[in-house]
Structure 1
Amino acid sequence: MNPGPLSNPHKSLDGLKNCTKCHSASQGLPDQKCLDCHTEINERMQAKKGYHARVQGDCVSCHSEHKGRDYDLTGLSRLQFDHTDTGWPLTGAHRQQDCKDCHKQKRPNSDRPTYLGNDSRCISCHTNIHKSQKGAFKTCQNCHGTRNWQPREKLNFNHNSQTKFKLDGAHIEVGCFDCHKNKTWAPLPHQECSNCHADPHNGSFGSKCSDCHSTSAGWANSGVKVPTGTAVKASGTSSSFDHDKTRFPLQGKHRAVSCKTCHGAKIGKMPTAKFADCDGCHTSPHKDQFQKIWKKKACQTCHSTYGYKNLNKFKHNRDARYQLLGQHTKVACSSCHPNGRYRWLASTPDCDVCHKDPHRGKYEPQKCSSCHNFDGFSSKKFDHSKTRFPLVGKHKAVACKSCHGGGTYKGLTTDCKDCHNDYHQGQLGNECVRCHAPIAFNDIAFDHNTGARFRLDGKHLENTCNQCHWGGKYKFEALNCSTCHADVHNGTHGKECDRCHTTSGFEMKDGFHEFGEYTLKGVHNQLECSTCHNPKQPVRAHPMQCSSCHQDPHMGSLSNSCYECHSQISWNPATFMHNQTGFDLTGAHRFLDCADCHKNRVFGGMPTECVFCHFKDFDATAPQHINAPTTCESCHFTFGFRPTK
């Protein structure tokens, strides 16, 4: 009666004497029998906790037996199991964890794991790094989410109501870890600003920072108020400190300088900053160059606080020995006075002190002013007409360096090829002036009819040079049409294109077909060439028979000599001699259309009896012909069927 051995966990119940421990004689397998042994499940179900309290069905619907010692009673699929059925749905990073990461308990009296009895509180799995802080720290969800267990972007935590330190101004934008260096989040001392902020003034202004700073303006961004009350930013925003009440009122650019620029971040006493002379803060770039000539003058002689580099007080033509003229007035000071060098070393300044000689001394002892002036250093007074190469035409507009590259101004040759590329690659010789002129290099004066072997006429006159002479090729081995034009006839008419074509329009000459084997006349002479000579049909290979182009309407019943009846002048009407067929046309027959007798284009083997065509007349009842013979000509004429004979 035993249906099979029990699984390994139930092997102690094997045997017929133990059947009633699980089975009931009247109720089969009641759940209570299972719960009497599995008390931990029974307790959770009674408390309505966990998976078994939510799932529907009998125990045996999930756990079956008598399938052998190795049978898995739970049948649990870890991949398909829906954790929501346990009452604790997995969200965020929890969904990426392995079951054993959270379920580490062992069964009673066994090393086998169990999935029951886990605590749903965060601290059951996660270490409480806040060390049991009170208040909002008791509920992890106030600050953390399951997505990555890092603090939420928007914490469910109110620093103003849940702590003793209210955040305002710039404090609101500060990150939590900027103040709370460790993760215990223990309360911090906050009676003085110095609890968190270092005193850059080293106690010079006391401990009440709010006298000058505010959290709304940004405690690290100190500023100054000018006498008008307008807040001037020193490092960002304004404060209540008024620098004008000191011995050094701030003016011009000084009003935008941060405090630490002058006072330093480590200066013990703010009033110790030097400000009596400019060199107390500023390093002199002149290195005492002006001390001997301007003993009584200070920095303010040339500079002002509204722009140290804007020398609006210094007048070069008044205060210096060298007068600035023309383009020199637009040059920046540092271009002539690099590295703070302002005293001129030479008693009589020459151009080469600042300017390099691009001519490399070739024009010495002449001075630069012989050709150049201050109005424009690139403008020249040099007269090129006094050289071996006077400039005319387009040459006048060319920059000097285009020809005199690398500072070479003497010893240049005057051949065109020395400056210009020979696009003709020596094909037309070296005498460029035969075709080109300096007035306009592209305005070519070349006469093709007198200077070349090939005369231009007709459509050739409309072509540009490049259409024939592309790729710089100006000399051709042959002057045949095929040198430039493709042979559309595939060589069937030779290379003498002018037999059929003209240069006036490259169209066909009249009578061009007369020299061939097939002279065109009549309608043929009005057809386009492509009508008979298509691209797939070479010209000379075209047969001469009419049937090559025309369909035979007679279906082979007549000969192939179409010209016996038709002509090129007009294919209709035909000149067919019907008296040669054995049936001479007489009388009314001569005025009939061929199709009246030759139905369906049948022209051969036609009977000649009258009744073949005039059967309706023969079959008429008034008068009655049924008893008459079929030799109609016995009574009728072809000139008129009535009157009869």
Structure 2
Amino acid sequence: MAQSPHGDALKIDCVKCHTSESWKVNLKTISFDHNSTGFALNESHSKTDCVECHKTLVFNQASNQCASCHTDLHNATVGNDCARCHTPKSWVVTNIPELHEENGFPLVGSHKTLNCIECHKSETNLRFDRIGNECINCHRETFNNAQNPNHVTGNYSTNCIECHNPQLKEWTPSNFNHDFFPLTQGHNIGDCNQCHTTNNFTDASPDCVSCHQTTFNNTVNPKHADAAFDTDCKVCHTTNPGWKPATFDHNFFPLTKGHDVQNCNACHATTPNYATTPTDCVTCHQTDFNNTSNPNHLVNNFPTDCATCHTTNPGWTPSTFNHTFFPLTQGHNLPDCKTCHTTNNFTDASPDCVSCHQTTYNNTTNPNHVAAGFPTDCMACHTTNPGWTPATFDHTNFPLTLGHNIADC
């Protein structure tokens, strides 16, 4: 047998490819199965003359790499595996969206309809150098030229999708996540420049007074500046336009009942600085205190802390006095203070029983307290029960037992 020019590796019968009439290979009649080589001849490869790929007669010297046959017009910018983008049927790329998805840049919105060369610019338009997946890689010029607002001086993020929707084909409408300073009600204005008065949007202060200082200074009902009100508007106001309704946390001095007045100046009249208004009752009620005659608070040295006897109920009634140092029980529970306090000075009333009951003590005859030398401390025998009965006497010095236990002293 003649030696095969195809090398020792190809061990097949010549008639698989040739005929007895000629060495020429007829692709239509060839019976060699190219799949056995691991490189199937599909589509355009099945119509290609063997010598276009096999440059020598030793067929196994031919590489199965695309680049061994096909000139890389992309200059290795997309790798050397043609099959990633092309098929044996055509050079036309049909999976461009999938390729971009794999590379982390989905083609959505306006990106979906762009021509490749609008992003991948080169001398041949066939080089697809990686340009990066960041917005700014393509949109630097647009970013730099934006004036309303000026993105550069405003220190805007170069990540366009923070404000712009990549699904849209235009830059508008745009959104900005302003959650760090919610734009609610009166703050929900369309013109950023109303608050951002400099070209640098990042230097705008979130402090209320940075925008509302003039309003604060000019407010006269009440006058915020003189009253030393907090410049943090949120203490009293919401973002509702017109500054109303307004509230103030007055829990440090609860405005209940008679104190619940709508005109701040009714209490804060002595000084324009609300913060220095004293919380002592007498600051507002000195005149009431001085003019009260039933009982006379002034001469009786009553405390000037109204809360000792009164609530904030209008009209000063009902009023109470803590008389626990001398409990007003039973017969002592009298509605008229003057029954016991016979002078104008309530504080000089003696707690000794005899100071009120001397006459009763002197006139008692059953038994005669004076003649018997009974103590003038009524509590020794009596309670505060009206009528002086029942009465008891501690006779333990001479126990009244059995026959001695007689009722008539």
TM-score scaled by length of structure 1 = 0.33
TM-score scaled by length of structure 2 = 0.47
Structure with the greater alpha carbon radius of gyration? 1
